[in-house]
Structure 1
Amino acid sequence: MTDSHVSPAGDEPELLRDQFRQLLRYRWLIGGGIGIGLIGGAYLGITSADSYAANSDIVVRTPTTNPFDSSTAPDKSVNMNTERQTALSSNVAQIAAKKLKDGTSARTLKKGLQVTTPPQSLTLRFTYTADSPEAAARGANALADAYLSASEKKWSDLRDSMVARLKRQIDPLGKQQNELAQQLDAMTKGTSAYDAQQTANVNLKSRISTLQNQRDTLMGLDMAAGSVTQEATPPTGSDGLGLVISLALGGAFGIAFGLLAAWVRLVFDPSPRSTGDVARAVRAPVLGSLPRGAAKGLLAVDQTGSRTAEEYRSIAFRLAYDARFADRRRLLVVAARDASAQAATSVATNLAASFAETGKDVLLVEADLRAPGLSARLHTTAGRPGWSLPADTDDNGWPGTRPLTVDAGEAGSFDLVAGQRVRNVARALTSTRTTQLIEDADESGSTVVVLAPPVLSYADALALVDRVDGVVIVCDLRSVHRTELVRIRELIVGAGGTVLGAVTHDEGGHPARDKGAAKGSGRRAAGSELPPPAPRPAPPVEQRLGDGTETVTLRQLRPEDLRTGDKR
């Protein structure tokens, strides 16, 4: 048998398709993301359908005496970032609210205002959004006018302050100059005192004249802070993207968000993403994948043309052509967890029927001595089976005196050694009688299929590994973890066995959700649709038989048992 679990190198398209299929496992996340995106898009489309935006442009400049003088160009002293912050201030919004006189608050105006500055320009663009075109145009024009008024007032207040300061300097100097003039009139011309006084008077007049020129310059400034180059007009259409475009954008965002959420969930999902992950974990091929719901039935090989029956036949033929199994024809079927115990029972029963269909003498051994009951679920007769059991020298009570014959319908029949409760499970499984029973498969045309409890719950399967050699692991892709599969393989190999492959099934949900599943409607003619077995009890340390005696069991401690402080 080839190692089908080894992926060919360079198969990038196949890997991408596999990853995409794994993302589709979380359709509810992808659907939730699309739903959120569509709801957001619909909300955006509806809320923006009644919003209108109007623009008003202003060219900013500073006060100047000669606007045509390039040496005093406004771009020499205007900081557009500062002017933009001024335009967005609450002061401008309050002035605009007073200008509108329609009850619009300054807070509403400020909330709907957006001021931008085109690059390499001295232009401020006021964009105001409102519920109607007329309100948008009025708001944009009012805010632009309010900005001009606020800027002009700022510059006027600054000029008035400077003029008042110059006046306070000129008045004392004027009084001083008048006193000097009176003193000069009383002095004799030509004297040195007169000349000194005359010089001081001239200097004082010159200083007064300079200050007066500065005041006159300030008084002659054009205090306009700018001019409106474009007045806002009522817009002809809404400012929103529209319901269709908003839904499209919301859907695209929802798909991206859903795929991202599914990818994150996939990365942190400890369960196998595909049968390829199972094959890599157990280092053996996946022999088959049961159709959904196939694990709930017990015997399906007798159904001619059934997809489930053909899957079991395919698994049987793959095992028959495996040299490791063909040499000894001993097969151990074991579940990974309790959730797959029913599936393991179905796999073991149908493989036995498939081998019997090819003409082999098949013996199915129910090595589950803790919750037996397979014989009650199959069509069995106490006829003359072709298998003889060795004498009970160990006084264990199991296997019984003789096997039962199972009618598998059109597939034929096979023999069954039913399980039963014993005082010491470990001694019964490792007894010489059990070993001789399994070794009967070495005879020509004989095959033994052994069904054991889940390997992660009990050590029963490990006690049988060295007698059976070939092991088939049955696991549910949604209930088992990749690390658990690796651990199962290590336990089997460490006990001297070989993992021939795995059989996967997917019941479409977590096992805990299936506790309330309905029971079967009755036994079919061949016994393929029968009531499921009673739930397996938790692995105890001690069990009691009907006579009150204690039963010694094997129990395997898991790491989580040690972490939770299980001292049993």
Structure 2
Amino acid sequence: MPSPHLAESDSDGPVLMAYLGWLRRRWWILLLAALLGTAGGLAVSQVQQARYTSTTSLLVRPVGAGGGDSNPNAKVNLDTEAQVVRSLVVGERARVLMKSSTPVSELVDSASVNVPPNSQVLQVSYEADSPKQAQAGSHAFAQAYLDLRRATAQASLDSQVKSLQQQITEFTRQLTAAAGKAAAAPANSVERKRAEADQNLLTNNITSLNNRLSPLLSEAVDPGEIISDAPLPDSPSSPNRTLNLASGLGAGLLLGIVLAMVLDRLDTRVRRGRDISDRTGLPLLLELPQKTSAVGVLPATHKISRELGRLRNVLLSTVPPPREAGRGRLLLLCDASSGSAAGFVAANLAAAYARTGQQVALLSTKPDSTLTTITGVTEGRHSLAAVLRRDVPALKALTPVPGLGQLRVLVPGDLEADVELPVAALLEILSELSARFDHVLIETAQPTVAVEAQALGRHVDAVIVVAETGRTRSGEISAALQQFEQVDAPVLGAVLAPRMPASAAPAKPAPTVAKPRPRPSPGPSAGAPSVESTMVLPRMTPSPTGASAGTVKPATAPKPAGQVKPTGQAKPPAPAGPVPVTGSGHGHGSTYRSRGDAGSVDGSGRSYALDSGEDLG
């Protein structure tokens, strides 16, 4: 069936807190990148050759026909003049002034021009290996530019003067010819009058040209002047150590941010509740604080207890009623990854249920569960392993949690980590517990590791996936969700638990030694638990009707706590040989064996077989 839990993108996009979160998580990358960038800037400053720069300031005046005095408001296009300063023509003149053998192109590359705004000033700078070369280069380029500009203006002026003089000479020749014609013509004749008119016109032209020529002959070309000559530099202009360090620091931080972002994208660990809903589409039921120093059953005033109390209220109103009337609700909490997060949440959620006055049972199917440490229940023969071996009935194996009489715990005991638990037997235990308790909470390992987690998921009323902050990956949540969806398990959502301290991490189960374990003898001397420690208050009498689909009904009604068989009835001897895998006497689904049964030929090894018709002390 297609998965209904499809990841949805957030229309709001990433928020500022998300960026601050991954920057805080990857701070060491940013710090290392900043240090490396600063060290790189310092190294560049050390290997760079010292360079000196000197600057000459020029006041540029307009030049041209008619002189600057004829148009005092005229302005020079300094952007164009700046390009002239760095031209090859000026560079060649500057090379001559410097008496240098360096190619002109290299000299031009060492020169630079700055144009201050709203001014008629050019700042010509020159960079060289020594202070004297920098001073000489700056002055040479400034002087070469002025010389070129003066020469160009003078050439233009001379050209205009020459042109005017040629025109005056030509008009004078024509005037002489017209005067000769007038003298030769008869008085009052037409030819004489025409010659006299030509003579007057030529005279006026010559006068006009002389008026234009006179200012040009007296004008002095002034292209500009040096208002601030190049000083001798007293310190190198490059390398700029401050600039290099700042640039290295900035480049390092930028590289660190990019690297931290890439690593954060590749890191699929869940660090906040939003990661679960965004990446897997699984609804988030509760997000607990990211860290906690206490891993036991917390007091009711603790912040985590209050949060789980609110979750309890939500579950009471949203979890559907049990499949069979008169039975308690079954709630399965499984880890999304290895760890003890599910046990921590299950124990404190069970305590929240118990504080309402309801009867609550808590059991774990994890061989490496830390439920004993969390609840403070001492582990003895009263465990799930003992119940599966029929060493003790389920109700007698329950142990109350200190300070919470309504909460009973069934610790896993010495379950085999590499042997699959019998699901039919577990369902029969759950049916017996749900008949006596208002709520039964089951802690399991991740369904990708524990097969019974997936099998039990379809028989409970609700399933909650527990993720651990900073340890569980989104892929593990998706894999667990897929396992439950394959059996149509009622998955409500996920709970993000705090990062469990290292001391709370489940220890690796020690290898089990194949050592025969005799079954206890019936009777009070067999070490049966006392009535005070195992008594369970009755709930509601189960309905006489059969269990609904998916619920395994016990073969016989459980006997009251503390009741034992008469000592005169001896237990039939166990068959010599391997215990059959499939049950036949009671119609149960299977018999669970541990490694202790492998080498047993006399029936004294451990056999996890649930027979509800047999009551042991």
Bucket of the pairwise TM-score, normalised by the shorter protein: 0.5 to 0.7
Q: Secondary structure at the match of 1:210?
A: helix
Superposed displacement of residue 145, structure 1: 0.5
Alpha carbons 2:427, 2:456 under 8 Å: kept: no
How many angstroms apart in 1 are the aligned matches of 2:470 and 2:135?
Answer: 63
Are 2:282 and 1:284 equivalent residues in the alignment?
no
How many angstroms apart in 2 are the aligned matches of 1:501 and 1:386?
Answer: 26
Match of 1:108 in 2: 106
How has the CA–CA distance of structure 1 residues 191 and 287 changed in structure 2, closer, same or farther, with 3 Å as cutoff?
closer
Match of 2:539 in 1: none
How has the CA–CA distance of structure 1 residues 458 and 387 changed in structure 2, closer, same or farther, with 3 Å as cutoff?
closer
Match of 1:257 in 2: 254
How many angstroms apart in 1 are the aligned matches of 2:159 and 2:468?
Answer: 89
Q: Work out which of the residue numbers 292, 295, 298 in structure 2 matches 1:311.
A: 295
How many angstroms apart in 2 are the aligned matches of 1:230 and 1:274?
Answer: 65
Q: Secondary structure at the match of 1:237?
A: coil
Q: Work out which of the residue numbers 456, 462, 466 in structure 2 matches 1:469.
A: 462
Superposed displacement of residue 100, structure 1: 1.1
Listed one character per residue, the Cα deviations across residues 501-557 of structure 1 (whole Å, up to 9, x for unaligned) are 33355999xxxxxxxxxxxxxxxxxx934589xxxxxxxxxxxxxxxxxxxxxxxxx
Match of 1:539 in 2: none
Q: Mapping of 1:94-493 within 5 angstroms?
A: 94-167=92-165, 169-240=167-238, 243=241, 245-246=242-243, 249-250=246-247, 253=250, 257=254, 261=258, 271=268, 274-277=271-274, 282-286=283-287, 310-311=294-295, 313-314=297-298, 318=305, 323=312, 332-336=332-336, 340=337, 342-343=338-339, 346-347=340-341, 363-365=363-365, 414-415=412-413, 418=416, 433-442=425-434, 443=436, 449-454=442-447, 461=454, 464=457, 466-467=459-460, 469-475=462-468, 477=470, 480-481=473-474, 488=481
Q: Secondary structure at the match of 1:38?
A: helix
Superposed displacement of residue 141, structure 1: 0.4
Q: Which runs of 5+ in 1 are unaligned?
A: 1-14, 292-306, 367-372, 390-398, 509-526, 533-568
Q: Secondary structure at the match of 1:144?
A: helix
How has the CA–CA distance of structure 1 residues 190 and 96 changed in structure 2, closer, same or farther, with 3 Å as cutoff?
same
Listed one character per residue, the Cα deviations across residues 473-504 of structure 1 (whole Å, up to 9, x for unaligned) are 13463663499679959978984344473335
Alpha carbons 1:312, 1:351 under 8 Å: kept: no
Are 2:50 and 1:50 equivalent residues in the alignment?
yes
Alpha carbons 2:417, 2:509 under 8 Å: kept: no
| Matched residue type, 1:253 | G
How many angstroms apart in 2 are the aligned matches of 1:437 and 1:26?
Answer: 48
| Matched residue type, 1:274 | R
How has the CA–CA distance of structure 1 residues 414 and 454 changed in structure 2, closer, same or farther, with 3 Å as cutoff?
closer
How many angstroms apart in 2 are the aligned matches of 1:154 and 1:404?
Answer: 117
| Matched residue type, 1:436 | E
Match of 1:59 in 2: 59
Superposed displacement of residue 471, structure 1: 2.3
Listed one character per residue, the Cα deviations across residues 186-222 of structure 1 (whole Å, up to 9, x for unaligned) are 3345544223212212312322343344344334332
Alpha carbons 1:440, 1:446 under 8 Å: kept: no
| Matched residue type, 2:250 | F
| Matched residue type, 1:496 | P
How many angstroms apart in 1 are the aligned matches of 2:90 and 2:412?
Answer: 95
Are 2:493 and 1:496 equivalent residues in the alignment?
no
How has the CA–CA distance of structure 1 residues 288 and 159 changed in structure 2, closer, same or farther, with 3 Å as cutoff?
closer
How many angstroms apart in 2 are the aligned matches of 1:290 and 1:216?
Answer: 97
Superposed displacement of residue 126, structure 1: 1.5
Listed one character per residue, the Cα deviations across residues 149-183 of structure 1 (whole Å, up to 9, x for unaligned) are 12122222323443444455445434433333333
| Matched residue type, 2:470 | L
Match of 1:4 in 2: none
How has the CA–CA distance of structure 1 residues 26 and 267 changed in structure 2, closer, same or farther, with 3 Å as cutoff?
closer
Q: Secondary structure at the match of 2:295?
A: helix
How many angstroms apart in 2 are the aligned matches of 1:257 and 1:350?
Answer: 41
Q: Mapping of 1:5-84 within 5 angstroms?
A: 20-27=20-27, 29-31=29-31, 33-35=33-35, 37-39=37-39, 41-42=41-42, 45-46=45-46, 50-63=50-63, 69=69, 72-73=71-72, 75-84=73-82
Superposed displacement of residue 459, structure 1: 11
Kindly, what percent of the aligned residue pairs are identical?
Answer: 18
Match of 2:565 in 1: none
Q: Name which one, 1 or 2, has greater alpha-carbon Rg.
A: 2
How many angstroms apart in 1 are the aligned matches of 2:58 and 2:347?
Answer: 91
How has the CA–CA distance of structure 1 residues 500 and 119 changed in structure 2, closer, same or farther, with 3 Å as cutoff?
closer
Q: Secondary structure at the match of 2:122?
A: strand
Superposed displacement of residue 99, structure 1: 1.9
How many angstroms apart in 1 are the aligned matches of 2:429 and 2:49?
Answer: 82
How has the CA–CA distance of structure 1 residues 486 and 356 changed in structure 2, closer, same or farther, with 3 Å as cutoff?
closer
Alpha carbons 1:29, 1:258 under 8 Å: kept: no
Superposed displacement of residue 401, structure 1: 7.6
Q: Secondary structure at the match of 2:123?
A: strand
Q: Secondary structure at the match of 1:467?
A: coil
Q: Which runs of 5+ in 2 are unaligned?
A: 1-14, 317-326, 355-359, 373-378, 398-408, 512-617
Deviation larger for 280-289 or 114-123: 280-289
Alpha carbons 1:137, 1:233 under 8 Å: kept: yes
Q: Secondary structure at the match of 2:507?
A: coil
How many angstroms apart in 2 are the aligned matches of 1:328 and 1:141?
Answer: 99
Superposed displacement of residue 56, structure 1: 1.2
How many angstroms apart in 2 are the aligned matches of 1:201 and 1:456?
Answer: 124
Alpha carbons 1:114, 1:128 under 8 Å: kept: yes
Superposed displacement of residue 271, structure 1: 4.3
Q: Secondary structure at the match of 1:154?
A: helix
Deviation larger for 247-256 or 468-477: 247-256
How many angstroms apart in 2 are the aligned matches of 1:447 and 1:198?
Answer: 137
How has the CA–CA distance of structure 1 residues 54 and 251 changed in structure 2, closer, same or farther, with 3 Å as cutoff?
same
How many angstroms apart in 2 are the aligned matches of 1:56 and 1:438?
Answer: 96
Superposed displacement of residue 133, structure 1: 1.5
Alpha carbons 1:95, 1:146 under 8 Å: kept: yes
Superposed displacement of residue 467, structure 1: 1.1
Q: Secondary structure at the match of 1:98?
A: helix
How many angstroms apart in 1 are the aligned matches of 2:76 and 2:127?
Answer: 27
How has the CA–CA distance of structure 1 residues 40 and 320 changed in structure 2, closer, same or farther, with 3 Å as cutoff?
closer
Q: For this pair of structures, how many residues does the alignment match?
A: 448
Alpha carbons 1:90, 1:106 under 8 Å: kept: yes
